[in-house]
């Protein structure tokens, strides 16, 4: 393809930019693939540990039952010998001590099992939400128009925003799930969208800053669909950012929470004058 001398420099730079974008997308896909493998491996490890803990719990319960049976036998034998009171005291103390030890071990196993279950649930929950985004303050459809009409209304708004604001070619086939969160009321409900791939989600999240310059969309906020643990972590970090900003003596910096779910942190930014 021939370019005039004035356009040659711009065309060359454009080719370089496209190549850089393609390379960045390839790197992101590779990173996402590695993360998915790591999540699956952790999931298998937690499930294996959970099964082992269940087996250990059953063995301890079995041991307690056997010990109770032996204790009953000892008590029956002691009952036939009313003159041997000192031996009875010794046996009872030994049995009570053993039962306390076993009870403490059972409590530790139960706690370990519960922690393993919580971690396994967190991994499954995170896997289910990895391609989701949530849109806040995006207008709702009129009430009573039917489910399909509501879905079409919300999909049209989302696809128009992707095209007009982000410049992304996202189709209806890329939207795997779309629905409002909560019951309809006076306040606009958040809109949850599940995309077909993590790459599409990342492309949107990396260009959300463009909303600030779009008059029709600058009121909209886009966030990750976080798990309960991730939301709690984000809340703690937001409070930390507020505290650090309050203590900022120079007044030249602000503190904000940045990063993906599970990897969020408080960063210091230069205040815009």
pLDDT at res. 134: 95
- The predicted pLDDT at position 271 comes to 81
- In terms of domains, do 27 and 103 share one? yes
Measured between its terminal Cα atoms, the distance across the chain in Å is 46
Number of separate domains in the chain? 3
Same domain as 25, residue 120: yes
Domain that holds residue 46: 1-128
Q: What is the pLDDT of residues 70-98, one digit of tens each?
A: 777 766 665 655 555 555 666 666 677 76
* pLDDT at residue 69 greater than cutoff 80: no
Question: Measured on CA atoms in the order 237, 126, 191, 183, is the torsion positive or negative?
Answer: negative
Nearest-5° Cα angle at 60, 118 to 114: 5
Judgement on whether residues 124 and 21 belong to the same structural domain of the protein? yes
Does 117 share its domain with 195?
Answer: no
The CA distance from 228 to 15, in Å, is 43
Higher per-residue pLDDT: 95 or 118: 118
| Same domain membership, residue 122 and residue 11 | yes
Say whether pLDDT at 118 is over 90. no
Contact in structure between 194 and 239 (CB atoms under 8 Å): no
Q: Are residues 234 and 218 in the same domain?
A: no
Which CATH number is 174's domain given?
A: 3.30.70
Q: What pTM was computed for the model?
A: 0.58
Q: Are residues 80 and 188 in the same domain?
A: no
109 & 70 share domain: yes
Same domain membership, residue 92 and residue 176: no
Token look-up 């196993």 returns 109
Residues 91 and 156 in one domain: no
Residue range 169-189, pLDDT digits in tens: 999 999 999 999 999 989 999
């Amino acid at each position: 393809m021939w370019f005039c001398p004035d356009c040659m420099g711009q065309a060359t730079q454009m080719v370089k930019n496209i190549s850089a974008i393609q390379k960045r997308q390839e790197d992101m896909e590779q990173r996402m693939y590695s993360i998915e493998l790591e999540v699956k491996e952790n999931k298998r490890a937690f499930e294996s540990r959970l099964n082992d803990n269940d087996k250990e719990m059953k063995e301890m319960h079995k041991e307690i039952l056997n010990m109770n049976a032996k204790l009953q036998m000892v008590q029956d034998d002691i009952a036939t010998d009313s003159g041997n009171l000192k031996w009875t005291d010794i046996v009872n103390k030994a049995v009570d001590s053993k039962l306390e030890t076993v009870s403490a071990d059972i409590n530790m196993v139960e706690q370990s099992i519960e922690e393993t279950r919580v971690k396994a649930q967190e991994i499954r929950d995170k896997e289910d939400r990895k391609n989701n985004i949530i849109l806040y303050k995006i207008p709702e459809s009129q009430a009573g128009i039917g489910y399909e009409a509501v879905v079409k209304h919300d999909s049209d708004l989302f696809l128009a925003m992707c095209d007009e604001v982000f410049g992304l070619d996202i189709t209806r086939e890329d939207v795997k799930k779309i629905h409002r969160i909560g019951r309809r009321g006076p306040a606009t409900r958040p809109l949850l969208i599940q995309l077909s791939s993590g790459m599409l989600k990342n492309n949107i999240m990396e260009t959300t800053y463009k909303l600030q310059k779009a008059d029709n969309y600058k009121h909209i906020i886009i966030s990750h669909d976080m798990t309960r643990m991730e939301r709690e972590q984000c809340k703690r970090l937001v409070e930390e950012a507020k505290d650090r900003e309050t203590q900022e003596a120079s007044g030249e910096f602000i503190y904000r929470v940045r990063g993906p779910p599970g990897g969020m942190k408080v960063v210091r930014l230069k205040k815009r004058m």
